Structure 1
Amino acid sequence: MPKQAKSKSTRKLKTYQTSLGFYDQAIAAPSMKAALQAWGASSNLFHQGAAKETDDPDIVAATMAKPGVVLRRPVGSDGPFTESAELPTDLGEGKSERKPKRSPKSKSRKRTARTARKPSRKIDDQAARKAAAAFEKEERRREAERRKEEAARARERARREKAVATAQAAFDKARREHEARAEEIEAERTVLDERAEAEQDRWDKQRMKLEQALRRARE
């Protein structure tokens, strides 16, 4: 019974393949959803026919050796999948630059050699459990990286918010001080205007009296 419970808890990994940008990509994952998440796909590539499950023994062996890790090779090539693949070498070539056709005999030899290079590699239960554990470890590592990035973004967001709050507080304080000084100046201006008006009235009255006295003195 314990042995059956253990087998049920083990997620069987499958190998999925797609082409994104300049690379073919492959991964050993327990589901299509997990593969899409690892690829960072924004849409369902399987429904679109752009991704598939593969049973190619070379690809299966490579992905099972590094479960959960996205492996790549130049798009359209038949080389091995690795963690760091170079860009395709024929990006700038035109359609007219085609390789010479091989004879049927050479094609037959190539197929025979390729078949010989691909012996059947079956994944036993122990290897499957080991691959599943490695996938879960890689999945936890990616999740830890995501949490680390989210924490860094949160710290940066908090830093910006604090800086904005500090700048806003300084601006509000300076504005209040300006408004207070402007009110004081306006009050002083009102007082000066009243004094100036009173002085003008006093002068007008004095001027009229002095002008009358000057006229009488001239008569």
Structure 2
Amino acid sequence: MARKLKTYQTSLGFFDLAIAAPSMKSALEAWGADSNLFHQGVAKQSDDPDVIAATMAKPGVVLRRPVGSVGSFSEHAELPIDLGGEGRQAKGTRKSASRRPKKPRSRPVDKASERKAALDDEREQRRRERERANEEAARRKDRERRQQAADRAQAALDKAKREHAKRAEAIEAERAALEKKCRAEDDRWDKERGRLEAALRRARG
């Protein structure tokens, strides 16, 4: 998901600069600044609706206007034309504006900010890695739990099948024995009945 753009504004050399960027860091990179102008107080997030409208029409593009003017920002601004009577003052202003971003005392602040940002990124990366590791461990534990349950169910089924086969075999053996007894009883009865019927016939004589 794209990050929301904001309008940032500063002054460098002969120009005021403005850009629509997702972060202060992106704005500094687009301006080519070698230090954090925001920490130095020479850059800010703009709340001027005209400046915001101009930058949002060309997001990511550095727009310019002559330094100190109130005109519109554009990609190709003309140099300031009033360099006569106020030349020395403008020159001093330009030098001041161009030197301020390069104050040596700003570098430790910027480096400290960069180190802090790097540490924050590293901590966030480690947090995400821990979350991924925890999620993977939970998924692995769940898979193992389901596999153990399946193994127990399969073992119970196999045991029940063996017991059924054993009982069915015993019942089949008993049934075969009963059938054998039935046949033997039929044979004995046939013989006994024949003998008795013969005796009856002799008695009736």
Secondary structure of the residue that 1:122 maps to in structure 2? helix
1:25 aligns to 2:22 (yes or no): yes
Q: For residues 78 and 217 of structure 1, what CA distance do their matches in structure 2 show?
A: 131
Q: For residues 45 and 178 of structure 2, what CA distance do their matches in structure 1 show?
A: 93
Shift of 1:122: 2.2
Q: Name which of 31, 36, 42 aligns with 1:55.
A: 31
Once the two structures are superposed, what CA deviation does each residue of 1:173-193 show, in whole Å capped at 9, x if it has no partner? 232122112201211110110
Q: For residues 45 and 166 of structure 2, what CA distance do their matches in structure 1 show?
A: 77
Give the corresponding residue for 1:144.
123
Q: Name which of 114, 133, 155 aligns with 2:134.
A: 155
Identity of aligned residues (%): 17
Secondary structure of the residue that 2:31 maps to in structure 1? coil
State the AA in 1 paired with 2:22.
Q
- After superposition, the Cα gap between the structure-2 partners of 1:122 and 1:72, relative to the gap in structure 1 and judged at 3 Å, is closer
Q: For residues 130 and 29 of structure 2, what CA distance do their matches in structure 1 show?
A: 35
Q: For residues 52 and 197 of structure 1, what CA distance do their matches in structure 2 show?
A: 97
Q: For residues 183 and 133 of structure 1, what CA distance do their matches in structure 2 show?
A: 74
1:128 aligns to 2:107 (yes or no): yes
Shift of 1:203: 0.7
- 1:1-219 alignment to 2 at 5 Å? 20=2, 23=5, 24-28=21-25, 53-55=29-31, 61-62=37-38, 78-79=51-52, 109-110=71-72, 120=98, 121-214=100-193, 217=196
Aligned residues: 140
- After superposition, the Cα gap between the structure-2 partners of 1:164 and 1:124, relative to the gap in structure 1 and judged at 3 Å, is same
Shift of 1:205: 2.7
Q: For residues 134 and 22 of structure 1, what CA distance do their matches in structure 2 show?
A: 22
RMSD: 4.1
Considering only CA atoms, is the larger Rg found in Structure 1 or Structure 2?
2
Q: For residues 52 and 61 of structure 1, what CA distance do their matches in structure 2 show?
A: 8
State the AA in 1 paired with 2:106.
A
As a proportion of its length, which structure holds more helix? 2
